[in-house]
């Protein structure tokens, strides 16, 4: 893998974040977690990240597309990928908006399979 890749996971589901972090740490990534947009923005400003994975919907917070828009102001070239557990009706509009905003055109569906997660990260951190 060469240089250690730095990945930020954003999810308001603590257990989901910890599970994904364990998977990524075991594969040799340096993984950071954030439970909300404010924690995420701080990490983006302070850390040279290779990729951000964010849940599409964070309860009581900004959605993944809004988070990406703010992150672009902090680090214009940042790569952000969405993951979601919501059904197609709820997510369709936001996924379309995400692509228009310049987010990665790939997204992951919960529950995320470890192999699928690693494959997506490797694809977007080369």
pTM given for the model: 0.89
Q: Which residues contact 43 (CB under 8 A, 6 or more apart)?
A: 8, 32, 34, 49
Q: Rounded mean pLDDT of the chain?
A: 90
Give residue 1's pLDDT: 47
Query: Domain spanning 6-124: which superfamily?
Result: Response regulator (3.40.50.2300)
**Higher pLDDT residue, 114 or 100?**
114
- Domain parsing of the chain, residue ranges: 6-124
pLDDT band at 87 (very low <50, low <70, confident <90, very high): low
User: How open is the CA angle 66-105-39, to the nearest 5 degrees?
Assistant: 35
Give residue 68's pLDDT: 94
pLDDT in tens, 39-60: 999 999 999 999 999 998 899 9
CA distances from 36 to 88, 93, 111 (A): 23, 22, 20
Give residue 122's pLDDT: 93
Strand partners, 9: 33, 53
């Amino acid at each position: 893998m060469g240089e250690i890749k730095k990945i930020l996971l954003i999810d308001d589901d603590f257990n989901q974040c910890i599970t994904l972090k364990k998977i990524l740490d075991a594969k040799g990534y340096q993984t950071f977690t954030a439970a909300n947009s404010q924690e995420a923005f701080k990490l983006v400003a302070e850390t040279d990240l290779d990729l951000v994975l964010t849940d599409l919907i964070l309860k009581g917070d900004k959605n993944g597309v809004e988070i990406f828009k703010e992150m672009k102001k902090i680090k214009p070239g940042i790569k952000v990928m969405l993951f979601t557990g919501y059904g197609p009706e709820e997510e369709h509009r936001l996924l379309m908006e995400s692509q228009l905003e310049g987010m990665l055109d790939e997204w992951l569906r919960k529950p995320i399979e470890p192999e699928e997660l690693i494959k997506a990260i490797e694809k977007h951190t080369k």
